[in-house]
Structure 1
């Protein structure tokens, strides 16, 4: 740590890619390991239905301060020996403006377990990453992570101005609220989410540690807005360039596509690092900074360090299926790895980077043959119905259903179900009709073409420690 901050932040990638094993491995080495908070409720219950191999989920649940809650969830989802491979996973209901007690409990517990496991065996800080646009889960998931002693909350994909105030109140188990975005909402509508920890506590607890809050931004304007207008302390910024994996901010101005069909980014989409320094808060540069040279460059420009995702995605400890790691590492080594920034795939409408890999959803034949199903709903849009209620729609759901909810047919072209695909990436794919398995769709940054460089001589895989060793190499001495 430099000035009590990490030089390297391991990216909070996807659903279950940045799992507790990866975060633990990075934090044990003295840098900041980060777990992904996306869809942890679904991840936990699928691990339980697989029989909890190794007993890790049970160990985390036994450490949870509200044992009756943990036992209810265990009894509902755990299958000794694991479910039959042909049997579908039981899923938790999609989250929305209002949620059942059972859904809220699952959010609290699942985030606790992931952070608790990441913190085992060492005393170093651990972080958790959330997407602001997945708002329905924010309040109980953050509380669950804080119960486990999370040290950093990192949030992107939106403008999380109200998160600092939430953290301040949750330290003393106070009730919190957050505005839920509803398309077409009127000023008179009340779309406020409420969460009171005391409705769920089974015993009195001491005040919690307030985690540091880092906002992920992609422009100087958003960086300035977060620092100056948030309702509490912003402890730092992660500045993500458009070469990073996952969702990217769209280009400024009118969307233009290259001959290959990818969004075209220009000078207006760059970031002035000098102006970032003037904000007076620590910042980390991300997206294309996965090398020792780029880390040194970032430090020389005044950054506290860098956030690195793709290099860690292919480490042995990450949650990405091992066969996908092996194939993409081999393609990287052969100079054949290819990333496509798809302007249409994500139901959110934001560009999404896809690693092209035969047999996954990036394969046109595989992607087009999947039936349109939306049963997880993390990326669906909340909208105001004609009678003033809150409805939900997703451009990747069945077309007649989407249109009946006021959706536009042009918004459905090329859309894919990322929610199911991201669970498939980590080997937790849904099974339908006893035989059809949800296809994976892997995301990575442009650094995919270089990840083979982390392979030690004579080895076909590398671990998180190999990445950190390579990133922290000192500058070669000059003659």
Structure 2
């Protein structure tokens, strides 16, 4: 089927997005699932997905690096509001890049108060990543968000929609308000989502939004993308399906071995001898009940081979979502040296990924690759000064005077306790924001000489790597991953 894609991704009737993909390339880490990877997967006929986390910061730092391949500026030039594009280029673009060791210029932190510069940078960052992912082909592209980062969601989604994104995916929470947000933005109406504020009274609502008429006045309404909710419990799927206002267009059902954040086990948290959460029968999704809802669904976690794909299809799934195999492929955003070290450790069968119940300030278990020299190394973590300067994962809370404050369990302990947090909540926490940025070569250089160390997240099922490395000893591509998954059904 031929699909015509316009400057902002508009499609002709009978668009290919109506055909459910068999493989969804997962949104792994900040910038790991970047536009280059998503573009490669979409070109191959499956759903390429960019991570939607911190794209404002990624754009700002890539411009400060001098945008050596010109991709950022090429996409910025396509933004339909030239004044916004020019303002942000003037502020962040550094011809030739910052001198070695110079700190990146900061971007505005997320918050409930209106900040036009922050909104414009968030909209533009998401537009740029999706626009580049859609370049040069007529395939479908999605973007993956964390429900936890509510303060960025409306502006981020609007930027992705302006670039013609085909799918929005969201997990790490209860994304019940996303269908209504997409409906509003597709009609050029202001879109809002609720923001969870700890300590707020029942019925006291806080929210944040974006107004298309304010950001991009006079533009035609963007096309509404499909929405896939990432869930790990039958009850959540049933809950979201209960009303047209909350019903997604499908589900990604994620198992506990999938990379990044995962839902904690149901019931009282129990840890095994290695200190990892123990999952049991209560954590298994009832696929028959999900299938009975009549919506397409995909299975994620340990599905990076043809057998996993076949079993998923036999269970009624439209296909599978795969993250780790793509995160380690040639087109991913992982720094090349880190990628090679991970592949070398995998070849020697010493690569370990731990489901750390304490690492993430969100409180969700988080998969961390145990790689020396990264934040997974206790000595490296202990040497890092505690600070929260990027703040994507900080939590809004109600202060005694009724104002909203922000705290993060990864910030200095005294600061967190002073803000009403419990000291035990700070134990074992890592700064995911800075660590994940360092993983893609965008780590901050502090004025005192400290350089942020990387933190790598992968899934815990690594069995697929042995076969891929035997077949592709020089490294594998996104097409190689698809071929391995799809086998005789059109892979690579």
Aligned residue among 263, 282, 296 for 1:282: 296
Structure 1 residue 3, shift from structure 2 partner: 7.0
> How far does residue 193 in structure 1 lie from its aligned partner after superposition?
1.4
Aligned match of 2:102 in 70, 76, 87?
87
CA distance in 2, matches of 1:231, 1:182: 23
| SS of residue in 2 equivalent to 1:260 | coil
The answer (yes or no) to whether the contact 2:263–2:364 under 8 Å persists in 1 is yes
Tell me, yes or no, if structure 1 residue 52 matches structure 2 residue 93: no
Q: How does 1:392-411 map to 2 (within 5 A)?
A: 392-411=406-425
Q: Secondary structure at the match of 1:129?
A: strand
Alignment of 1:455 with 2:482, yes or no, is no
The whole-number CA distance in structure 2 between the counterparts of 1:145 and 1:458 is 34
2:88 maps to which residue? 73
Aligned runs of 1:129-168 on 2, under 5 Å?
129-168=144-183
Q: Partner of 2:354 in structure 1?
A: 340
1:206 aligned onto 2:220? yes
TM-score, with structure 1 as normaliser: 0.97
Pick which of 132-141 and 223-232 moved more.
223-232
Deviations 1:67-108, CA, capped at 9 Å, x for gaps: 100110000001000001211111212101123100000010
Among 460, 464, 488, the residue aligned to 1:446: 460
Structure 2 partner of 1:330? 344
Closer/same/farther in 2, CA of residues 2 and 423 from structure 1, 3 Å limit: closer
Q: Which of 259, 271, 282 is the aligned partner of 1:245? A: 259
Contact kept? 1:126, 1:150, Cα under 8 Å? yes
Structure 1 residues 428 and 449: CA distance shift in structure 2, 3 A? farther
- Select which of 376, 393, 398 maps to 1:379: 393
Distance 1:254 1:148 in 2: 43
Indicate the SS of the match to 1:9: strand
3-state DSSP class of the match of 2:462? helix
Q: Whole-Å Cα distance in 2 between the matches of residues 395 and 2 of structure 1?
A: 40
Q: Distance in 2 between matches of 1:450 and 1:85?
A: 39
Worse-superposed segment, 432-441 or 211-220: 432-441
SS of the residue aligned with 2:169?
Answer: strand
**For 2:204 and 2:291, how far apart are their aligned partners in 1?**
40
Query: Could you tell me how far apart the structure 1 residues matched to 2:178 and 2:147 are?
Result: 9
Q: Choose from 2, 5, 8 the match for 2:23.
A: 8
Bigger Cα displacement from structure 2, 88-97 vs 210-219: 88-97
Aligned position for 2:241: 227
CA distance 1:200–1:2, change in 2 (3 Å):
closer
Distance in 1 (CA, whole Å) between partners of 2:374 and 2:210 is: 39
CA–CA separation in structure 2 for the residues paired with 1:114 and 1:162: 24
Alignment partner of 1:297 is 2:317: no
**Aligned-partner Cα distance in 1 for 2:431–2:179:** 31
In the aligned structure 1, how far is the partner of 2:239 from the partner of 2:380? 42
Contact 1:456 1:462 in 2 (8 A): no
Find 1:127's aligned residue among 142, 148, 154: 142
In 2, the alpha carbon distance for the partners of 1:65 and 1:71 equals: 11
**Residue pair 1:161, 1:229 contacting (<8 A) in 2 also:** no
The equivalent of 2:6 in structure 1 is none
Kept in 2, the 8 Å contact 1:285–1:307? The answer is yes
Distance 1:448 1:361 in 2: 21
Cα 1:401–1:467 change in 2 (3 A) is same
Cα deviation digits, residues 236-280 of structure 1 (max 9, x gap): 000000010111100111111111111111111111111111111
Report the CA distance shift for 1:405/1:258 in structure 2 as closer, same or farther (over 3 A).
Answer: same
Structure 1 window deviating more from structure 2 (181-190 vs 257-266): it is: 181-190
Aligned-partner SS, 1:94: coil
Structure 1 runs of 4+ with >4 Å offset: none
Given that 1:337 and 1:449 are in contact with CA atoms closer than 8 Å, whether structure 2 keeps it comes out as: no
CA distance, structure 2, for counterparts of residue 153 and residue 177 of structure 1: 16
Q: Please list the CA deviations of residues 288-343 of structure 1 after superposition, one character each: whole Å capped at 9, or x if unmatched.
A: 11111000000011000000000000011110111111111111111111111111
CA distance in 1, matches of 2:222, 2:43: 23
How high is the TM-score relative to the length of structure 2? 0.94
SS of equivalent to 2:396: strand
Q: Aligned in 2, Cα 1:125/1:365: closer, same or farther, shift over 3 Å?
A: same
- How far did 1:433 drift? 2.5
Whether the 8 Å CA contact 1:243–1:288 is kept in 2: the answer is yes
User: Taking structure 1 as reference, are residues 132 and 350 closer, same or farther at Cα in structure 2, changes over 3 Å only?
Assistant: same
CA distance in 1 between counterparts of 2:224 and 2:26 reads: 21
Kindly indicate whether residue 338 of structure 2 is the aligned counterpart of residue 307 of structure 1.
no
2:9 aligned partner: none
Measured in 1, the distance between the counterparts of 2:117 and 2:204 equals: 26
> Secondary structure in 2 aligned to 1:340?
strand
